[in-house]
Amino acid sequence: MRIASIGECMIELRQMPGGHLTRSFGGDTLNTAVYLARLGASVDYVTALGDDPLSDEMIAGWQDEGVGTERVLRLKGKLPGLYMIETNGAGERHFYHWRDASAVRGLMSLPETEALLASLTGYDLIYLSAITLSLFDAMGRDRLVAALRRCRASGVRVAFDTNFRARGWPDLDLARMAFEQAFAASDIVLASVEDLRALYPDDGDGALFDRIDAGEVVLKLATPASVVRENGEVMRVEAQPVTGTVVDTTAAGDSFSAAYLHARLNGSEPVAAARAGHHLACTVVCHPGAIIPREAMPDMRGQTA
């Protein structure tokens, strides 16, 4: 099974005691790609970077993680985006971004774009998020969604994560329209109450579910649980208690998506896949940063039965 993950990876700065900063890289769809690769999936990252040393470093890091980079476009004179993370005592994070001129912003309007989008038909699953959609203008989003529809027509499955950041959308009505387009173009929607309630504040959990017309939906709740709907059947999945200390919730949802999709692609039923998602996320939140050390990866055996 081959997976294409579309989005943006940025340089990550993390504040440390004494005002010092550590540097790494991260981005929602890249985080998911890394965790998919660690779980054994064949995954390529689809994005654009600059021709600078930091972009070279990111490419090398992805390759070291087993993420394919043949779909990464390199743009002369451009740079990757940058973000800084602050976390509070409960592990909740706050982000500061510098990304308006990042290389990936032009991904849907390059001479190479058509060939890149055509190559997506060679995958079994395409994964993207609402942050992916927020990178592009309306024309770029329409071009991407049209490509997703063509891929589905050729038998490729599409998974959409509702990862929502209000600062990426100048107008919430535009965001709602983009979400509706993505829902209609997807086979699997990985959603959360937190994301959807920011767009639809008056909806209860059931109404949020009803807005998504995909055949398979996972809705992560405000409590440590999720609800899975497949072909009209709704099932609740409780998360295991976190046994460690929560230090950073960055990439909790990204790792959930990776474990869920990996399990589903390997034949697990949705409830078992959701259990696997919760299991990996419970480990990730006990480590700082988006990508935890490889040696900290949990044993996933027995989680997808």
pLDDT single digits (tens) 90-99: 656 677 888 8
HSE-CB for 45 with a 13 A CA cutoff:
34
Instruction: Please report which residue ranges of the chain form alpha helices under DSSP H.
Output: 28-38, 53-64, 113-119, 130-134, 138-153, 172-184, 193-199, 205-210, 252-265, 270-284
Whether the predicted model's global pTM rises above the 0.85 cut: yes
> Which region among 15-24, 68-77, 114-123 has the lowest average model confidence (pLDDT)?
15-24
Q: Considering the domain boundaries, does residue 33 fall inside one? A: yes
CA-CA-CA-CA dihedral for 18, 20, 24, 27, to nearest 10: 70
- The answer to whether residue 254 is catalytic is yes
Q: Residue 29 in contact with residue 51, Cβ under 8 Å?
A: no
Question: pLDDT at position 149, please?
Answer: 98
Q: Are strands 216-220 and 188-192 parallel, antiparallel or unpaired?
A: parallel
- Can you tell me the distance from the alpha carbon of 82 to that of 102, in angstroms, rounded to the nearest whole number? 8
To the nearest 10°, the Cα dihedral for 144, 209, 27, 132? 20
Q: At which residue do the structure tokens 């490729």 appear? A: 156
- Does 18 fall in a domain? yes
Whole-number CA gyration radius for the chain? 18
* Domain annotation covers residue 301: no
First to last CA, the chain: 20
The mean pLDDT value for 283-294 works out to 88
What is the pLDDT confidence band of residue 113, given thresholds at 50, 70 and 90?
very high
Q: Domain of 192?
A: 2-296
What CATH number corresponds to the domain at position 153?
3.40.1190.20
Confidence of residue 188 (pLDDT cuts 50, 70, 90): very high
The larger pLDDT score, comparing residue 232 to residue 228, is at 228
Torsion, Cα of 26, 280, 285, 289 (10° steps): -20
State pLDDT tens for residues 48-80. Answer: 999 999 999 999 999 999 999 999 999 999 999
**Residue 121 in this model has a pLDDT that exceeds 60:** yes
Catalytic site residue from 44, 161, 248, 254: 254
Q: Measure the CA dihedral 206/210/215/216, to 10°.
A: -30
Using the structure block, give the residue that is written with the tokens 């976190």. Answer: 242
Tell me, what's the pLDDT at 305? 57
Q: What is the rounded distance in angstroms from the CA atom of residue 167 to the CA atom of residue 127?
A: 22
Q: What is the pLDDT of residue 82?
A: 92
With beta carbons less than 8 A apart as the criterion, state whether 44 and 4 touch: yes
Q: Is residue 303 part of a domain?
A: no
Percent of the chain with pLDDT over 70: 97
Q: What is the tally of structural domains in the chain?
A: 1
Which DSSP symbol is given to 139?
Answer: H
User: Mean pLDDT, the chain, as a whole number?
Assistant: 92
Phi/psi at 222 (nearest 5 deg)? -70, -25
Segment of 111-125, 217-231, 234-248 carrying the highest mean pLDDT:
111-125
Q: What is the pLDDT of residue 290?
A: 82
Q: Which helix (H) or strand (E) holds 142?
A: helix 138-153
The pLDDT assigned to 288 comes to 80
